[in-house]
């Protein structure tokens, strides 16, 4: 695991966008896994500007988002589809047919999750998976537990995640209790992983990544077993 420390969030965001753009520019047809949350917003802003400046082209990029809340329509302003559309899709030349997010309102979630995994496989797998990290160590919505699930699956969110994400909603009661997420298997199969860690509330989980112990109680530690992970972290989150 390679770690690069930045003085602040702005610098981290520029470096994250440059990393993603450099990977896209290396390969004509690129499969890109993407996260939501507050952390990647700066990266998306920089990628949008780079796209407008002709420094990165999304015409042949296919995106696969990590996760989505269950029960929120795309038009809901807290759905991850809405977030992605606002922060990236509407700002760059991604083709609408190349955008993928698990559908959290599908009638048959079992079929939805299986189809999502099949599409990733059929497309040749993820070239790059960009990840944030929850304050409890979750990646996507793979929550701390005594076990982790490999494929895309539905999940009941922990109270700590509901509390952490309540800041985006009117109240904690409005945060959906369930979500659909790529599993740790999907993430580990990505050829390359870029993880972004920012803010003092990530210090404890970031520290655990330095300790070399892999435990489902901190799902991000699974990345210690992946051969090509780069962590971009700001000083506030670094120990």
Q: Burial letters for 6-37: b for 16+ Cβ neighbours within 10 Å, e otherwise? A: beebebbbbbbbbbbbebbeeeeebbbbbbbb
Sign of CA dihedral 171, 195, 117, 25: positive
Q: Is 65 helix (H, G, I), strand (E, B) or coil?
A: strand
Q: Does the annotation count 143 as an active-site position?
A: yes
Residue 129: closest CA among 141, 144, 140, 116: 140
Catalytic residue among 51, 136, 165, 186: 136
Query: How far apart are the C-alpha atoms of 79 and 71, rounded to whole Å?
Result: 9
Which of 56, 101, 133, 190: binder of ligand GLP (CB under 6 A)? 133
Please, what is the minimum distance in Å from the beta carbon of residue 6 to ligand GLP? 15
Cα atoms in the Cβ-side hemisphere of radius 13 Å centred on 152: 25
Q: Does the annotation count 211 as an active-site position?
A: no
- Specify the residue for token string 């005594």: 146
Which one, 94 or 139, has the nearer CB to ligand GLP? 139
Which of 17, 128, 141, 184: binder of ligand GLP (CB under 6 A)? 141
Please, what is the minimum distance in Å from the beta carbon of residue 60 to ligand GLP? 25
Q: Does the annotation count 138 as an active-site position?
A: yes
Please, what is the minimum distance in Å from the beta carbon of residue 141 to ligand GLP? 5
Q: Which region, judged by CB under 6 A, interacts with ligand GLP, from 42-50, 129-137, 147-155, 213-221?
A: 129-137
Which x/- pattern over 18-57 shows residues binding ligand GLP (rule: CB under 6 A)? -----------------xxxxx------------------
Torsion of CA 92, 73, 83, 37, to 10 degrees: -140
Residues near ligand GLP (CB under 6 A): 35-39, 66-67, 132-134, 140-141, 161, 165
């Amino acid at each position: 695991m390679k770690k690069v420390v930045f003085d602040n969030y702005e610098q981290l965001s520029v470096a994250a966008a440059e990393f993603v753009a450099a990977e896209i520019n290396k390969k004509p047809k690129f499969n890109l896994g993407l996260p939501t949350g507050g952390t990647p917003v700066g990266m998306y802003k920089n990628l949008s500007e780079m796209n407008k400046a002709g420094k990165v082209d999304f015409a042949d990029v296919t995106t696969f988002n990590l996760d989505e809340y269950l029960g929120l329509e795309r038009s809901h302003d807290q759905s991850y589809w809405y977030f992605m559309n606002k922060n990236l899709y509407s700002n760059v030349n991604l083709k609408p047919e190349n955008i993928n997010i698990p559908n959290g309102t599908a009638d048959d979630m079992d079929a939805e999750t299986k189809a999502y995994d099949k599409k990733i496989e059929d497309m040749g797998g993820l070239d790059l998976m960009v990840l944030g990290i929850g304050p409890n160590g979750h990646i996507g919505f793979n929550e701390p537990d005594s076990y982790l699930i490999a494929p895309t699956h539905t999940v009941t969110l922990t109270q700590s995640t509901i509390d952490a994400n309540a800041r985006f909603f009117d109240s904690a009661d409005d945060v959906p209790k369930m979500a659909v997420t790529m599993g740790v298997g999907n993430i580990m199969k990505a050829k390359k992983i870029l993880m972004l860690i920012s803010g003092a509330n990530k210090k404890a989980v970031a520290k655990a990544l330095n300790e070399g112990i892999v435990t489902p109680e901190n799902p991000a530690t699974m990345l210690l077993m992946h051969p090509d992970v780069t962590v971009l972290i700001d000083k506030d989150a670094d120990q």
